[in-house]
Amino acid sequence: MKNNLTIKYFDKIDSTNDYLSDNIKNKNITTDYLVVAKMQTNGHGSYDRIFISDDNGIYFTLGMFCDKNIETLTPKVAVAIYNSIINLYNIKLDIKWINDLYYNDKKVAGVLCKYLNEEKCYIIGVGIDLYENKNVTGEYKNIIGYIFDDKIDENKLVLNIVSEIYNLIDKKLPLLYTENNMILNRKFVYDNNKYIVKYINDKGDMVAENLSNNKNEIFNSSYGIVYE
């Protein structure tokens, strides 16, 4: 954990990501900063999707000032969450390329990273469904899961994950991400073509075989991919 990391807690906020990004752009925050919330009213997911952020989870955004390229940042954050959950609670999650974690075949965590080029700061957002959300209905009921039946020390988990992130940023992408990813050997459809996942490379890209011509193609985004 970085010694000069500032931490701010909220019971409820519109978005930890927006709060941190806006304050960094306005020069109100100039050093590494962590914003943690028990609930978000306007949580963001990948590709501008809504991220349900009720009070059954924990949501935080880390602002990390750095003027160098941190390779495979999003996968490394996923590994940090995996490591913390298994080390603290002996619960093994499944990592799904590129930025999700699953438990009992349901999504329980997501990662959203971006870089503020002018401010030279990485914005690392994490949302985790800790407990059962009884307000979830419809299609989300079969998608969104939870990890714990009983309440845990949520702040301890957050700080452990942040410590793991700092520990991993200068290292190679761990093999558990590339060799144990839950999409390996899965078939999917993209742009009306059928593929099968062959492997995840050391850059965090997915390599899949196009079943119509048996040629491998590289994917660095999950947008538009529908798994069978």
54-69 mean pLDDT: 92
| pLDDT higher than threshold 60 for residue 47 | no
Do the Cβ atoms of 173 and 72 come closer than 8 Å? yes
Return the HEC string of 200-222: ECCCCCEEEEECCCCEEEEECCC
162-166 mean pLDDT: 97
49 or 94: which leads in pLDDT: 94
pLDDT for res 46: 59
Domain ranges of the chain: 6-179, 187-227
| pLDDT higher than threshold 80 for residue 21 | yes
41 band by pLDDT with thresholds 50, 70 and 90: confident
Can you give the pTM of this predicted structure? 0.93
Q: Residue written as tokens 């075949």?
A: 105
**Mean per-residue pLDDT over the chain, rounded:** 93
CATH topology for 6-179 is BirA Bifunctional Protein; domain 2 (3.30.930)
22-48 mean pLDDT: 87
| pLDDT higher than threshold 60 for residue 172 | yes
